[in-house]
Structure 1
C-alpha cells in the first residue's frame, strides 16, 4: 500500500481514523511476507483462498466486551486453509499499515492445534483452545503516568508511510506443531469502555524443542479477562491515574519457555 493510497483511504473513510487491524505477517530476514485478510477488499477474492493464513475479520471496528463470543479471533473468525512456516526462536512480525490509537497494552498468544490428519487449526473451535501468552507490552517504564506516559501501542506507530511492525519471538524451545497465533491490541483511551482488536493466523512451527507451558498459563477466550478488572474498567485521564505510574496488563503472565540452554540448541 502506497502512502498516497493510505492517505486517500483515511480521507474518504472517517471511521478508519479510529481503528485499524493486522494486515500482513513476515518471517525471516530478508522477510517473507504472508498476506492477511482485508475487510475493505472483496470477500469472494479472499474467503477460502489457498494462500489465506489468517482467520477472517470482517470489520475494523473493535470488540467492546471481554465476554464477547468473538473475542478470541474477531468476527466471524472463519479459518483460512494455509499456515505460516516459522521456526521456534524466530520472530513473527505482525504488520499494520496504520494504527492511530495511542493508549493501552498489546499482547500475543499461542494455542496448540491437533495435527493435520485430525483437522489441524482449520477444524478447531478457537473458544475451546488453551491459549497462553508469549509476549506483552504496555506503559513504557520511565515515560510518565498512565495519562501522559508513552505506551508501546504509540511507540510502534510510524507516520512516514511505512508499516507499523510488531515483532514477537516464538519461544525457542516450544514443541513443534500447528498453532493459532493471536495478536491483540487493547485500547483504553475511553473511560470504562475498553476496545479489543484481536486477529488470528495459523502457524506451522518447527524446531527440536518439546516444551509447552504449565496448565496454570492456559486461558480461554472468552474467560481470560474479568470485565471488572481495574485494568479494563479504567479512566486513565482521572486525577488518580495521573498519579499512577504502573499498569498491570490483563490476562496473566507471559510464558517464554525455559532457558534456551536447557537443550543446548545449536551445540
Structure 2
C-alpha cells in the first residue's frame, strides 16, 4: 500500500535532537507511487506489522563501524517488513532521504535473490548473496578531501528530499529480491561509517539473466577491514594530488 510521509513532519524531525548527527533512508518511490520505510524517530509499535511497511526495521540513525558487524547487511535489528514494493525490471526505484549531512564517501546499491520460495521474510540477510547494481564515489578532484563526491551532490538544502535513483537491470530474471542501499562515510580518519537499509521487492519482467558467482558478496564478509578504500585517512598528504578512489565491494553487475 502506497503511503506519502508528509515532508514537513520529516523535516521538523530532522532538525531536532540527535537526528542532527546522521540520516537514513525514509521512503521509496517507483514512478508516482510512494512506499513508506521505517522511521526510527517514531514508536516502533506504530510501525511493526503495518500492511504498508516495505523496509526492514532499523532502530537508530547511528552508523555501523565494523565490516564484521552482523548488522552490516540490513542494519539493526533488520526485522522483516510486512509488504513488498512491486517493480518491473528496467524501472527506477528512488530512495528518499529527508536529510543527509555527510559529504564524503561512496554510495552503493545491491540486490539479493530470496530463492524459489518467492518470499524474503525468512531469508537470513547474513547468509544470502548480494550483488552490486549501482555505485558512485568521487566525481571530480582536486583530491579526496577537497573533491566533489556523489554523496555531496545527492544532498539538497532547499527543503526538498534527497533522491537517489537506481535502475533495476532490465535483463534480470523476475522473483523476490531485497534491495540494499548503503552509504559509506569516510570523513573521519580511519573510522568508516556504514549506513545500510534494506527493503523487499517483487521484481517482474521477462528477463532470464542472473549474475555469476564472482559478483556475489555476503555481509559481513564482503569487505575487508584493511581495505584501503575503507580504512582510510583522506586528509593524509599522500592523497593531496590523488583524485582516484576505488569503491569497495567489487564490480557492478549490469545485466
* TM score, norm. by length of structure 1: 0.91
Q: After TM superposition, list the pairs within 5 Å mapping 1:166-245 onto structure 2.
A: 166-245=164-243
Query: Partners of 2:8 and 2:240 in 1: how far apart?
Result: 36
Q: Is 1:127 equivalent to 2:116 in the alignment?
A: no
Partner of 2:3: none
Query: Partners of 2:187 and 2:37 in 1: how far apart?
Result: 27
Q: Is 1:37 equivalent to 2:42 in the alignment?
A: no
Query: Partners of 2:239 and 2:96 in 1: how far apart?
Result: 31
Out of 152, 155, 167, the position equivalent to 2:153 is 155
Query: Partners of 2:19 and 2:138 in 1: how far apart?
Result: 24
Partner of 1:20: 23
Query: Partners of 1:143 and 1:247 in 2: how far apart?
Result: 10
**Which stretch shifts more, 237-246 or 86-95?**
237-246
Decide whether the 8 Å contact of 1:18 with 1:101 is kept in 2: no
Task: Tell me how far 1:191 sits from its aligned partner.
Answer: 0.4
Q: Sort the Cα spacing of 1:102 and 1:59 in 2 relative to 1 into closer, same or farther, 3 A.
A: same
Task: Tell me how far 1:49 sits from its aligned partner.
Answer: 1.1
**Which stretch shifts more, 55-64 or 44-53?**
44-53
Q: What is the DSSP-based 3-state SS (H/G/I as helix, E as strand, rest coil) of the residue aligned with 1:182?
A: strand
Structure 1 spans left out of the alignment, 5+ residues: 258-267
Partner of 1:104: 105
* TM score, norm. by length of structure 2: 0.95
The C-alpha deviation readout for 1:213-264, integer Å capped at 9, x for no partner, is: 011100000000001100011111111122211000000000011xxxxxxx
Residues paired across the two proteins, number = 250
Query: Partners of 2:118 and 2:210 in 1: how far apart?
Result: 20
Structure 2 spans left out of the alignment, 5+ residues: 1-5
CA RMSD in angstroms comes to 1.3
The C-alpha deviation readout for 1:88-110, integer Å capped at 9, x for no partner, is: 00000000000000000000000
